[in-house]
Structure 1
Amino acid sequence: MKEFVEYPDRDLMMLDLADRLTGELAAALRGNDRATLCVPGGTTPGPIFDVLSEQALDWDRVSVVLNDERWVDEDSPRSNTALLRRKLLVSKASSATLIPLFKAGMAAEDAMAELSEGLAPHLPISVLLLGMGADMHTASLFPGADNLAAALASDAPLLMPMRAEGAGEPRITLTAPVLNGAMSKHVVITGAEKREALERARHLPVEQAPIRAVLAGATVHWTE
């Protein structure tokens, strides 16, 4: 872990984190033709997306990709892609390019080659934001998942289909090497339970605490 930043409240954390991500994206765009922002789904990053979407960046030069996606159609309330379209890819950020992690009408396993081909030109990730569950999963790297070992391996492919008891529906996830290849890494967590889980994770094998696979060099942001 590079840094642990503790905030007095969630509003301040979300504003500060959005400001950091904006600054890092701007820096990436100054030195490169394009930048790639990789973000989690779920409810926690929503306020960050609200702020980010209003920032004056060259969003037409930014590619956005999820850490992972549930293998559901966009009309499902469980779709992270639909969440991104509502919360991040609006206002000034509406000109960003969304890199898909779902292919309608196909099984996840059958779509890996096509989705990986679409993702590859946008790597490495410039700025990465991750979350963490109380079970110490991040992205869709779940303890006990069927393809966890392969997704953690140094020679893992870009994307991996994933099924796990705690995941609900099938998932697709960026693998550990792709996440760790990011130029800048941030992890955002809230609440005492997740802070305790993060502390436990540092003393457990990575297979039991997959968050460990991405903590090296990451800045962790926490508040109650």
Structure 2
Amino acid sequence: MAISDLKLPEGVIAHTFTSPAVLADELAAAVAVQLTEAIQQQGTATLVVSGGRSPVAFFHSLIKQPVDWSRVVVSLADERWVPVEHADSNAGLLKKHLLQGPAAKARFVGLYNVAANLEEAAQQADRQLAELPPIDVLILGMGDDGHTASLFPDSPNLASALDLNNQRRCWPMLAPTVPHQRLSMSRSLLSSAKHTVLSIQGPAKLNTLNTALAGDDVAALPIRAFLQPTLEIYWCP
């Protein structure tokens, strides 16, 4: 299957690249342009990214782009509820691979905090995200199970987190893999982004995306919530 075989909603644009390295470079160049345009128009720009290992090459390429990072706010679509020093921390990943060199001048708004429990941590993150400027660029990933950010199928709070009428910004979520406890931006906050990119690699992700496009049960495959006009999909085999 090729991405050209997918029946994409009107307005959704798909790009195919020959390798992960090319995808990372092209995505970084496009994001840099969008951030610079936002800075020119409003003085600042806000970038929200996803964690995990897949975006590392994109981060490395992005910090080489000509962006005025002193005017950029960076945040995370989701976070594992582990300390920043933990190997699974998305914040730790950003500090190591993105917030370096010129990009160290960016202001980082993280989701993790020390709290009595996951719900309290999510409430604190929700209050912190109230100070986040409007999202200019959002980079999403997707799991083979159709989750994006930490909006996992069958997670207890999924219905509330997917409710566009619920203005809560951050929800406690449970993943099927370790570490189970997560913090995730809500659908309503993520959907407010001016530019959204779904970056995926490999045939398995393409098959999941094809399945998502063939149905409308958002709870079964949460990525469906974001298959809307203005979405751009970046894919490589």
TM-score class, shorter? over 0.9
The whole-number CA distance in structure 2 between the counterparts of 1:209 and 1:169 is 18
Q: Structure 1: how far apart are the matches of 2:163 and 2:153?
A: 15
The 2-side partners of 1:166 and 1:213 are apart by: 22
Residue 114 of structure 1: CA displacement?
A: 2.7
TM-score by length of 2: 0.91
Query: Is the contact between residue 53 and residue 88 of structure 1 (CA under 8 Å) also seen in structure 2?
Result: yes
Deviation at 1:105, TM superposition (A): 4.3
Unpaired segments of 5 or more residues in structure 2? 1-8
Partner of 2:180: 169
Q: Distance in 1 between matches of 2:150 and 2:169?
A: 13
Stretch moving more, 115-124 or 17-26: 115-124
- The yes-or-no answer on 1:223 pairing with 2:236 is yes
Instruction: State the 1:151 CA deviation.
Output: 0.4
Q: Read off the aligned partner of 2:191 and give its amino acid letter.
A: N
* 1:159 aligned partner: 170
**Structure 2: how far apart are the matches of 1:145 and 1:215?**
20
Residue 188 of structure 1 aligns with which residue?
199
* More moved, 63-72 vs 47-56: 47-56
Contact 1:153-1:176 at 8 Å conserved across structures: yes
Matches of 2:15 and 2:186, distance apart in 1: 26
Q: Secondary structure at the match of 2:130?
A: helix
Structure 1: state its 5+ residue gaps: none
Superposed CA deviations along residues 115-143 of structure 1, whole A, max 9, x for unmatched, are 22221232321000000001110000011
How far, CA to CA, are the matches of 1:191 and 1:72 in structure 2? 29
Give 2:128's aligned residue: 118
What pairs with 1:143-154 in structure 2 (closer than 5 Å)? 143-154=153-164
Residue 128 of structure 1 is aligned with which of 138, 144, 162?
A: 138
2:209 aligned partner: 198
Provide the residue aligned with 1:67 in structure 2: 77
Q: Deviations over 1:56-94 (max 9, x none)?
A: 222111111011000001121111100000000001100
Write the distance in 1 (CA, Å) between the matches of 2:72 and 2:157: 30
AA of the residue aligned to 1:219: E
Structure 1 residues 171 and 39, CA gap change in structure 2 (3 angstroms): same
RMSD between aligned residues: 1.3
What residue in structure 2 maps to residue 208 of structure 1?
A: 220
Does the 8 A contact of 1:162 with 1:170 survive in 2?
yes
Given that residues 28 and 65 in structure 2 are in contact (C-alpha distance below 8 angstroms), is that contact kept between their aligned partners in structure 1? no
Shift of 1:168: 3.5
| Cα distance in 2, alignment partners of residues 101 and 209 from structure 1 | 24
Which residue identity is paired with 2:226? V
Match of 2:23 in 1: 13
Quote the Cα distance in structure 1 between the aligned partners of 2:68 and 2:132.
Answer: 16
**Worse-superposed segment, 99-108 or 179-188:** 99-108
Shift of 1:167: 5.9
Instruction: State percent identity of aligned pairs.
Output: 34
Tell me how far 1:190 sits from its aligned partner. 0.3
